[in-house]
Structure 1
């Protein structure tokens, strides 16, 4: 019956009493079947099941079809994940991205009708939400401000041939990006231009950004790699600076909501679990642990900013998250080589390649222990 409903254009999800609407999504190689094309405004839960043979993603896009309202990434074959959003009335699109490359499949219109119940809470709770959003917006702007200046310095060192200086600046500057990565991902194709790994590229896609320069600064040992020419260095560095400036301009008036903050914390830990702790992010430089720290710090900033709301809703969950964040930070700290100086210029972690299998497992276990309670934060806050 659910599959039949998913194929019915006029299917609708919602409830007259304003309760959270539940929708199912089935992702395959060439389909993104949502159980309803409309829902009432308020808390919506998309239960996504990957019935294909590739890792997939699910996106809820804004009316322009470009801006990402919310997303769930890294859904493995046979795995189900929930996306909880506090949806305002309006027009949206849903789309799945099997293989996590390209334009996605099954893009379809999705309409949120007015339930007649105000989506935003009022009173003291609304004031707490407003404060959390305001504070996080300021944090994002500060991090991107520092990202701009760090990127300028990094690009200047790289184009001047000061490779040792560029290698020092690479991981510390990227931390500013990693702390607010979900915000950068909301700007369409800007995030891929800045942060695509070679393995992420679609056929025919130009490779730009941090990881293109990373490979040139830490070239593979095999004889098949050709270093970039001076002209190519200047071009890729200029593109990185320009794209970072575009990100900086875009976040100045960015609008954020409670569910975006909570989902952002979840997304940052997903980044750790599916890239940093596996050593896949910084494959040439081995600086994954800096990225790891940036993601964890960004997630904790978000949770701390929502603390008053979370403690009012579920104080036990807040206590559990604190303990799990502390335990993960302690485990990560085991691999510091030194405390960073005031400018965070020291590479304060061992290279990822120096970790033993036992080290990786210990970090992974801590990440998984934190990810489980963190995955409940959005539903708890919107409930």
Structure 2
């Protein structure tokens, strides 16, 4: 979901957002100077402390000295995402662990979280691959790759139910199918976002459009149709065209998911990104502002994060038993809390979010914050020796 997000997090959330994800080298901590790249972001600059570094596990030590919320990426030359961190507030610092092979990359800062960003060309040097890792992590990557492909494969038939209803002009049937069509996407959104060009086509909100884009002609995807169904209460020729376009774009996603670059650290960082999505979009009610199906997305985001964690847990629990214990506790707590809002305990039918009061939203927010803080440490735990 590419949009400028207004943070409404509490002090606890702020503390979670600032929690450092400690980096690592092949033998342990990445605090060795050659593997730490300091990134200083301002409203007009993206400065990096080094433009060459060894391939393997590296750490971005990010400081936002600008006046705008920013996000920082490591990109392949073709703009696929290696790793990212969004919602870095003015005057804050964050650390992100990544795993890179030898080759050319771009470190990119996006002041205001829009546009192509300010880019620095960098190079990872070495033999072309990272050091041999624990075979359990290779198994985790393989299992996660299978999972994201399965989610994409299962999404397309559900999307067809939704878009067929739109094309038939059946507003009520389209409304009923809308939230279900998004579950697989929400579970695996960081992988989809890694391609760069698909997410803006299918999951952008109107306020996430780039400067100069016209909502009438350039806004596509689920949320454009959501607005037509719930706010405009009409389906015209344009909406029917957008239904076909959504199927086309998601079919593209389905075909590309299996080629995504996935590493243990990208899985861990992706889990944290899913919690950030919850904190900045679902808990606030911004994501599904017309349909109020935010809790469906919320649950799917948590499930996706939990899947990554469960696959990485054998190594993470060995390297940091206390962290694994806390993650087990917090995932269980948030799952139990979300179950309170299930209309049907055996389905994804959740309470409409506009019916959730401020105190209950605060409780949900606190649960997200309590999980996000330890989850921000998972990337380090899967590579510490």
- 1:191-206 superposed matches below 5 A: 191-205=199-213, 206=218
Give the Cα separation in 1 of the matches to 2:284 and 2:125. Answer: 42
Deviation at 1:270, TM superposition (A): 0.9
Question: Does the Cα contact within 8 Å between 1:60 and 1:70 map onto a contact in 2?
Answer: yes
The answer to whether 1:332 aligns with 2:344 is: no
Question: Does the Cα contact within 8 Å between 2:171 and 2:235 map onto a contact in 1?
Answer: no
Question: Does the Cα contact within 8 Å between 1:19 and 1:43 map onto a contact in 2?
Answer: no
Partner of 2:124: 112
- 1:20-169 superposed matches below 5 A: 20=30, 21-64=35-78, 66-105=79-118, 107-114=119-126, 119-122=130-133, 125=134, 127-169=135-177
Deviation at 1:25, TM superposition (A): 1.0
Deviations 1:331-362 (Å, cap 9, x if unpaired)? 11222222244xx5xxx211111111110110
- 1:291-306 superposed matches below 5 A: 291-306=297-312
The alignment's TM-score, normalised by the length of structure 1, stands at 0.88
- Greater Rg by CA: 1
Sort the Cα spacing of 1:39 and 1:354 in 2 relative to 1 into closer, same or farther, 3 A: same
Sort the Cα spacing of 1:38 and 1:357 in 2 relative to 1 into closer, same or farther, 3 A: same
Which of 216, 227, 247 is matched with 1:215 structurally?
227
Deviations 1:231-285 (Å, cap 9, x if unpaired)? 2122111110100000011113334211111111111111111111111100111
Query: Once superposed, what is the RMSD of the aligned Cα atoms?
Result: 1.9
Deviation at 1:203, TM superposition (A): 2.3
Deviations 1:300-325 (Å, cap 9, x if unpaired)? 00000111111111111111101000
Deviation at 1:120, TM superposition (A): 3.4
Question: Does the Cα contact within 8 Å between 1:24 and 1:47 map onto a contact in 2?
Answer: yes
Give 3-state SS (helix, strand or coil) of 1:282's partner. coil
Give 3-state SS (helix, strand or coil) of 1:143's partner. helix
Partner of 1:283: 289
Sort the Cα spacing of 1:45 and 1:151 in 2 relative to 1 into closer, same or farther, 3 A: same
Question: Does the Cα contact within 8 Å between 1:195 and 1:210 map onto a contact in 2?
Answer: yes
Partner of 1:264: 270
Partner of 2:378: 377
Segments of structure 1 that go 5 or more residues without pairing to the other structure are 1-13, 220-224
Deviation at 1:45, TM superposition (A): 0.8
Displaced runs of 4 or more, over 6 A: 14-18
Question: Does the Cα contact within 8 Å between 1:18 and 1:117 map onto a contact in 2?
Answer: no
Segments of structure 2 that go 5 or more residues without pairing to the other structure are 1-23
Partner of 1:320: 326
Give the Cα separation in 2 of the matches to 1:117 and 1:319. Answer: 36
Question: Does the Cα contact within 8 Å between 1:15 and 1:40 map onto a contact in 2?
Answer: no
Give the Cα separation in 2 of the matches to 1:170 and 1:289. Answer: 13
Deviations 1:156-210 (Å, cap 9, x if unpaired)? 0111011111111111111111000001101111111110001101123210000
Give the Cα separation in 1 of the matches to 2:244 and 2:114. Answer: 25
Give the Cα separation in 2 of the matches to 1:190 and 1:58. Answer: 19
Deviation at 1:50, TM superposition (A): 1.4
The structure, 1 or 2, with the larger RCO (C-alpha pairs under 8 Å, 6+ apart) is: 2
Give 3-state SS (helix, strand or coil) of 1:176's partner. helix
Deviation at 1:227, TM superposition (A): 4.5
Give 3-state SS (helix, strand or coil) of 2:259's partner. coil
Give the Cα separation in 2 of the matches to 1:359 and 1:18. Answer: 42
Matched residue pairs, number? Answer: 353
